[in-house]
Each structure stands twice: as C-alpha cells, then as structure tokens.
Amino acid sequence: MDTNPYFMLFAIFFIVMIVGILLTMNRLEKRLKNVERQLAQMDQTYPIMGEKAGIIEEDFPDALSALKIPVESKQKIYELVRQGKKIQAIKEVRIARPHLSLKEAKDIVDRL
C-alpha cells in the first residue's frame, strides 16, 4: 500500500491539534470551577466585609438580614436571643455560616 507522506503528516498534525484542544478545554474547565468556587466564597464573605466596614448596620435592619441564613435558622436564632440563650444563638449562627469566627458570630448575636 503506497501512502502519501503528506497525508501521514496531516494525520499526525490533526491528532496533535485535537489533543491540544482537549487539553485546553480541560484547563478551561478547571479554571471555570476555580472561579465559581471563588465567587461562592466571595458571596459568603461580602456581608462580613460590609459588616467590618460598617455598611451592614445602615443597609439592613439587623445583622442577620445581611447574611444568607435560611429562614428557619434565623427564627431559631431570634428565639434563642429572646430567651436569653446567647451562647446557643452564637452556636446556631456558626452552624448556619461556618466561615464566621466565634467573635464575628458573637458580634452578630450581640446586635440582635
């Protein structure tokens, strides 16, 4: 069988290009996942940054409203604060938002 050497070169070039495209797509997928993770992390930390800058108190009626906490958790936290169980309320804030430090959670409960 007599094959054209240019055809073989073209086939090798084509295969190399396909592999290159697949590797690039894989890297882009990893970067996209990394950016999505960073956005999710920023979404959680933005309210904390606002709180430290004093923005939250002006823009929201209370400290819990600034955080994205499920309604059930908010109700439980408010009830614990009303009952004078601040330590339990702090624990609930940290369960709802584990990225908060103990001091940040305590500051939030103290403002309620």
Local mean pLDDT, 10-residue blocks, the chain (112 residues):
76 93 94 87 65 48 69 84 91 87 88 80
pLDDT attached to residue 57: 42
Do residues 73 and 81 touch, judged by C-beta distance below 8 A? no
Residue 73's alpha-carbon distances to 16, 28, 44, in angstroms, are: 55, 37, 16
Cβ-Cβ contacts under 8 Å for 102 (sequence gap 6 or more): 90, 94
Q: Which pLDDT score, from 0 to 100, does residue 36 have? A: 87
| Total domains, the chain | 1
Note the pLDDT tens digit of each residue in 77-87.
888 988 999 99
- The domain of 21 spans 5-111
Q: How far apart are CA 37 and CA 40, in angstroms?
A: 5
pLDDT at position 49, please? 58
Q: In this predicted structure, what is the pLDDT of residue 25?
A: 95
Give the integer Cα–Cα distance in Å for 94 and 106: 9
Helix (H) or strand (E) run with residue 107 in it: helix 102-111
Handedness of CA 78, 101, 67, 29 (dihedral sign): negative
